[in-house]
Homo-oligomer: A and B are copies of this chain.
Amino acid sequence: MRGIEVKNVSKSFKDTQALRNVSLTFEEGKIYGLLGRNGAGKSTLLNIISNRKYPNEGYVSVDGVPAAENDEALRKMFLINEMNLYPESMRVRDAFKVTKTFYPSFDEEYALKLSEMFELNIKKKIKSLSTGYQSIFRNVLALSVNVPYVFFDEPVLGLDAYHRDLFYRLLIEKYSEEPFTAVISTHLIEEVANVIEEVIIIKKGEILKNQSRDSILENSCTVSGTISQVDAYVSSLPAGAEVIGSDTIGGLKSVYICGDTGSRMPEGLERSAMDLQKLFIQLTSM
């Protein structure tokens, strides 16, 4: 079996249960968005998958083989996050060389080309880079490493709009040339909504949604109208539809709905699409 399987993983730190019995699969050649509030458990999950932290229970397998302490499995994966694995005084160009020794598939020439595109000064020491350029440095590594599973934890933290746009375009270009599995954990949901195919929403250590982006968006909507009309509509909804939130301004109300609302839409009410970020905010606000 190809892909990464996370099976019944739990992890706690001191008095915090970071992950509770998490099971999910990352298939080959797909782009996933891993979405969650600060502290929801995203980074812990990524650290466990890539063997940087150990679960209290459960396991991870890569292409059918248990990943823990398995060098071959670990070299199929690459995680970038705030934990810097390079000595702080190392220069960017030396970090490229070191990466090449661990990952023979690392394309040093491409990394240099990307550095130029992002105006990343390869002579600088890693520790002297700004927040934005730390992110760029990590993204250059991840885009050049050429392994089947790449995990991006907050890849656009501190990046300006032009650099974010460039990153998304390069990721898609790379993926189009040779598909790989990319898992992107980010707070900039609306920007990544067009890049990802699959959405995983994690809340307080548990998986809340694990679905394709399209099916999530098709199965949700906003309905707006006067308070009394909207309330009447909500009370008549079929069992499969769930109201996940509402906003009231003056005498008007909007409700956010997941699931099948049926086709009936009373006159005077307006139904509109929900965007992924709005849906996320509603699902994770409590």
Q: Which residues of A contact B (CB under 8 A)?
A: 36-38, 130-133, 157-165, 187-190, 277, 280-281, 284-285
Given contacts A38-B158, A157-B157, 7 further A-B contacts (CB under 8 A): A37-B162, A161-B189, A161-B280, A161-B281, A162-B281, A162-B285, A165-B281
* Interface pair B281/A159, CB less than 8 Å apart: no
* Interface pair A157/B158, CB less than 8 Å apart: yes
A199 to chain B, nearest CB (A): 13
A216 to chain B, nearest CB (A): 15
Q: Would A159 and B187 be within 8 Å (CB), given that A165-B281, A281-B165 are in contact?
A: yes
State the CA gap A159–B158 with chains docked (Å): 11
* Interface pair A160/B37, CB less than 8 Å apart: yes
In this complex, what residue of B is CB-closest to A285? B162
In this complex, what residue of B is CB-closest to A164? B187
State the CA gap A187–B281 with chains docked (Å): 20
Q: Can you name 19 A-B pairs with beta carbons within 8 Å? A: A37-B162, A37-B163, A38-B132, A38-B133, A38-B158, A38-B159, A157-B157, A157-B158, A158-B187, A160-B187, A160-B284, A161-B187, A161-B277, A161-B280, A161-B281, A162-B280, A162-B281, A164-B187, A165-B281
